[in-house]
Structure 1
Amino acid sequence: MDKKHFLNSINCEDKNLISNIFNKIQIAEKTNKIIFTNDFLPPAIWHQILAISEEYEIKPFTNGIFKDSDRRMLSFSSGESPIEYPIVLLKIKNKSKFARVDHKDYLGAIMSLGIKREKLGDLIIQDSVCYAPVCSDISDFIINNLNTIKNCPCDVTEYDYVSQDLPERKFEEKVIITTSFRLDGLVSAVCNISRNSSVELISSGKILVNYFNCLKKDKVIENNDTLTIRGYGKFKVVETVGNTQKGRLKVVIKKYI
């Protein structure tokens, strides 16, 4: 397996990340053991890894715990997909009956412990509970140190996702009107702000496209792309469903709840 060819086959600016993945594939090949990444990768990365897997004897597999997870841990094996991954699903319960906490509050509280975003999978919120897949090597640390979410007391325990039902992600779906699929136009429509304000968000680094920072206001967004807009939330672009009388596009988007 040629490392240079592998690195050039993956479209990602973080070549250290791709190099580390290549090294894990080599370890799996040499030891004939199942090797896992020690973080959760965005779909822009693991989709590409899966796409080129036919070229290699070692096969990649993914797991994000939830159905249709965006962020997933990769494993590499010469055999079948592993049954168990080094992932712990945490159940974080807001114990306050008077204050509501949102996705960004749970995520911010966990990361304030010094934990990188890559160590966490998708977070799903149901009522006053957050379900968070985390790398197993940090689960005890979070359980012992996460005491509050947005000044609200919380209780953190492990959730047995093998024998118990898994929560499902919920979306808020709506149709927006935009002049084009350019990033600045879509951000303007999604956030209901002016085009100049959307450009400011993009230039200040507050926009992620498929989980990667994007500073190009003229980047063309495609169906199934994910936009993360700091201060507004995370959205998936679904499809175009028609045009207005003035020729603008009607686009279905889903906001992650």
Structure 2
Amino acid sequence: MDKKHFLNSINCEDKNLISNIFNKIQIAEKTNGIIFTNDFLPPAIWHQILAISENYDVKSFANGIFKDSDRRMLSFSTYDAPTEYPIDLLEIKNKSKFAKVDHKDYLGAIMSLGIKREKLGDLIIQDSICYAPVCSDISDFIINNLNKIKNCPCVVTEYDYISQALPERKFEEKVVITTSFRLDGLVSAVCNISRNSSVELISSGKILVNYFHCLKKDKVIESNDTLTIRGYGKFKIAEIIGNTQKGRLKVVIKQYI
């Protein structure tokens, strides 16, 4: 297995991250054991790792706990997929009956403990409860130290996702009209703002495409790509369902809620 070829085959600016993944693959190969990454990776990374590993003796697997998880932990094995991952699912309950907290509030509260985003998987919010997959080496720390979300008291416990039903992510689906699949056009349509305003958002670094900052207004977006737009939310581009009489595209988007 050639390290240089591996690094050059993965489209990612963080070569230290890819180098660490390569080292873990090598350890799995030498020990015939199961090796895990110690963080959750965005789809743009783990999809590429799964694809390139098909050429190697070591198999790669990805798990984010939830169905269709975006952020996932990778494992490497010369045998089958592991049945368990070093992931705990935390249940964070908002104890306030009067104040509502949302995704960014839960995420911000956890990260305010000094925890990096990469140590957390996708967060799902249901009925004033946040379900958060976390690396097992930090779960006790969060349970013992997280006691407030924004200004609301909370209680954190571990959720047994093996024997209990998993919550499912919910989306708000809508149709937008755009002239093209260029990033500036889609941002304009999704946010209902002018093209100039969308270009300003892009140039100021407030847009992530598949969890990576993108400053190219003419980048072509594809179906199933994820757009994170600061101040507006996170969206998955679903499909084109038709054209208007003026030839514009009718696109279904799903907003994470």
- TM-score tier after normalising by the smaller chain length: over 0.9
* 2:252 alignment partner in structure 1: 252
**1:20 Cα offset (Å):** 0.6
Q: Post-superposition, which runs of at least 4 consecutive aligned residues in structure 1 deviate over 3 A?
A: none
Cα-Cα RMSD = 0.7
The CA distance in 2 between the partners of 1:105 and 1:177, in whole Å, is 31
Gaps (5+ residues) in structure 1? none
1:92 maps onto 2:92 in alignment: yes
* 1:66 alignment partner in structure 2: 66
* AA of the residue aligned to 1:227: L
* 2:111 alignment partner in structure 1: 111
The CA distance in 2 between the partners of 1:154 and 1:56, in whole Å, is 46
TM-score by length of 1: 0.99
* AA of the residue aligned to 1:10: I
Give the paired residue count. 257
The superposition leaves residues 109-134 of structure 1 with CA deviations (integer Å, 9 ceiling, x where unpaired) of 11111111110000000010000000
* 1:191 alignment partner in structure 2: 191
* 1:50 alignment partner in structure 2: 50
TM-score by length of 2: 0.99
The CA distance in 2 between the partners of 1:206 and 1:12, in whole Å, is 19
The CA distance in 2 between the partners of 1:154 and 1:193, in whole Å, is 36
Same amino acid, percent of matched pairs: 89
The CA distance in 1 between the partners of 2:40 and 2:228, in whole Å, is 17
Q: Give the match's secondary structure for 2:235.
A: strand
Q: Give the match's secondary structure for 2:251.
A: strand
The CA distance in 1 between the partners of 2:54 and 2:230, in whole Å, is 37
* 2:238 alignment partner in structure 1: 238
Gaps (5+ residues) in structure 2? none
* 2:32 alignment partner in structure 1: 32
* 2:205 alignment partner in structure 1: 205
**1:192 Cα offset (Å):** 0.8
Q: Give the match's secondary structure for 2:24.
A: helix
* 2:80 alignment partner in structure 1: 80
**1:196 Cα offset (Å):** 1.2
The CA distance in 2 between the partners of 1:208 and 1:112, in whole Å, is 22
**1:152 Cα offset (Å):** 0.5
* AA of the residue aligned to 1:68: D
